[in-house]
Amino acid sequence: MSCIFCKIVEGSIPSIAVYQNECCYAFADLNPKAPVHVLIVPRKHIGSLGEVEVGDTALLGQLLWAAAEIARSKQLENGYRVVINSGPDGGQTVDHLHLHLLGGRSMTWPPG
Ligand code: 5GP
Ligand code: ZN
């Protein structure tokens, strides 16, 4: 299995854990784009948001719930951003579905 996020989930590539439960794992981004930059991934391999199936809807809710819980734990009361890049035009570089939680600074809009 060559997916780097699957290897992070199973522990064969080290990461800094931020949050975990039975269906998802969250860890610090290696190349942070904000003071808080956490990646939230399903333990199950799903290539991208473009590949989710109807059976994944509860899991998608769990991922958003995790983002909100982590934001609360990081005291991001002033706001934050949750991003999913999907596919080449979306800027996705790792083909395992993940949410970016970005916070600790003011974000700009539109994204690049
Ligand atoms: P994408 O561009 O696919 O939306 O986001 C991939 C993210 O994964 C990037 O922000 C990148 O810094 C992060 N990343 C890539 N490889 C690793 C790794 O081995 N460990 C960690 N912690 N983050 C990684
Ligand atoms: Zn994977």
Average pLDDT in the 45-70 region? 98
DSSP bridge pairs for 20:
25
Q: Is residue 109 included in any domain, yes or no?
A: no
Average pLDDT in the 51-80 region? 98
How many whole angstroms from 10 Cα to the centroid of ligand 2? 10
Write down the pLDDT at residue 33: 98
Comparing CA positions, the residue from 22, 37, 93 lying closest to residue 70 is: 37
How many whole angstroms from 28 Cα to the centroid of ligand 1? 9
- The DSSP string of 10-44 is HTSS---EEEE-SSEEEEE-SS-SSSEEEEEEESS
Q: In the predicted model, is pLDDT for residue 96 greater than 90?
A: yes
Q: In the predicted model, is pLDDT for residue 1 greater than 80?
A: no
Q: In the predicted model, is pLDDT for residue 112 greater than 90?
A: no
Q: Which residues contact 10 (CB under 8 A, 6 or more apart)?
A: none
Question: Quick one: tokens of 13?
Answer: 């590539």
Which residue range(s) make up the domain with 28?
4-103
Question: Quick one: tokens of 17?
Answer: 């854990």
Domains: count for the chain: 1
CATH number at residue 39: 3.30.428.10
pLDDT digits 0-9 by tens, 43-55:
999 999 999 999 9
Q: Is residue 112 included in any domain, yes or no?
A: no
Q: Is residue 46 included in any domain, yes or no?
A: yes
Q: Is residue 108 included in any domain, yes or no?
A: no
Q: Is residue 110 included in any domain, yes or no?
A: no
Average pLDDT in the 1-24 region? 96
Average pLDDT in the 72-101 region? 98
Q: Give this prediction's pTM.
A: 0.98
Q: Is residue 111 included in any domain, yes or no?
A: no
For the Cβ of 92 lying below 6 angstroms from any atom of ligand 1, the answer is yes
- Mean pLDDT of the chain, nearest integer: 97
Average pLDDT in the 77-94 region? 98
Q: Is residue 39 included in any domain, yes or no?
A: yes
Average pLDDT in the 66-82 region? 98
